[in-house]
Amino acid sequence: MKKAEKTLNTNHLCRLFNVPIASYYYQPVIKLNEATYRHKIKAIHENNFKSYGRRRMKVELNNQGIHLGVFKIARLMKDAGVLAKVPKKPHYYLSGKQIPNRPNRLERQFNPDQINTHWVGDITYIRSYRGWSYLATVLDLGSREIVGYALSQTPDAGLARQALVHAIAMQKPDTGELMFHSDQGVQYTADKFKQTLLLHGITQSMSRRGNC
């Protein structure tokens, strides 16, 4: 019969080799001068799409064995000229009761019986290896499918227009019977976008302000 194998715990092994138990759990702390800290912070900043703030910077530095407080990291980031880039979507509304730029002709009828009669659009942002990019999409409520899209590094009216033009080119709908609904983002209230709708005879509809 095979004898049961004996296992030695950490305390026993440390005593056996005459090593303090604290040494086993010791985590080395790297102490560098501030110029080196700033250099490492800049490298982390560049390698992470320039999006890390002081808290995420602290986690990354800890992973590299550098333990600093968030306030010191914030000061070092400021000294190094490092500023986290956070995309912000502006909201140009005061109240949900404001009169819309265009009336709400859709009136929450989100389930039409036919395709290519009711389109809706919106813009979101995504992070890629090149930094922040913006994606505009057009969705057909009849099929629940994305029928057009466009990608750009600037979330302007041109991006919304490109997505709409792409949808028209792909679907070739009867634009005279088509309604396009969106929120009141500046991209959809811009003259460039409204003129494109007018050119194709598309009816524009918008939600109340503050309602996506």
Q: Is residue 91 part of a domain?
A: no
What are the residues facing 121 on neighbouring strands?
138
User: How many C-alpha atoms does 19 have within 13 Å on its Cβ side?
Assistant: 13
Q: Report the pLDDT value the prediction gives residue 161, as an integer from 0 to 100.
A: 96
CA dihedral (102, 189, 166, 86) in degrees, to 10, reads -130
Q: Is residue 111 part of a domain?
A: no
Inter-residue contact 148 to 171 (CB < 8 Å)? yes
pTM: 0.56
pLDDT for residue 94: 43
Contact present, 139 and 146 (Cβ < 8 Å): yes
24 in a structural domain: yes
Print the domain residue range for 182. 118-206
Of 98-102, 105-109, 167-171, 178-182, the least confident = 98-102
The SS3 assignment for 134 reads strand
Give the integer Cα–Cα distance in Å for 202 and 182: 13
Please state the rounded mean pLDDT for residues 104-109. 88
| Cβ atoms of residues 184 and 207 within 8 Å | yes
199 occurs within a structural domain: yes
Examine the fold and report which residue of 25, 60, 79 is the final residue of a domain before the chain moves on: 79
For residue 153, give the DSSP letter: S
Total domains present in the chain: 2
pLDDT value at position 196?
A: 95
Amino acid symbol at 174: D
What's the start-to-end Cα distance of the chain, in Å? 73
pLDDT band at 98 (very low <50, low <70, confident <90, very high): very low
Confidence of residue 1 (pLDDT cuts 50, 70, 90): very low
From the list 5, 173, 36, 197, the residue with the least C-alpha distance to 105 is 197
How far apart (Å, rounded) are the C-alpha atoms in residues 196 and 166?
12
Residue ending a domain, among 79, 97, 130, is: 79
Domain boundary among 54, 79, 104: 79
Whether 84 is covered by a domain: the verdict is no
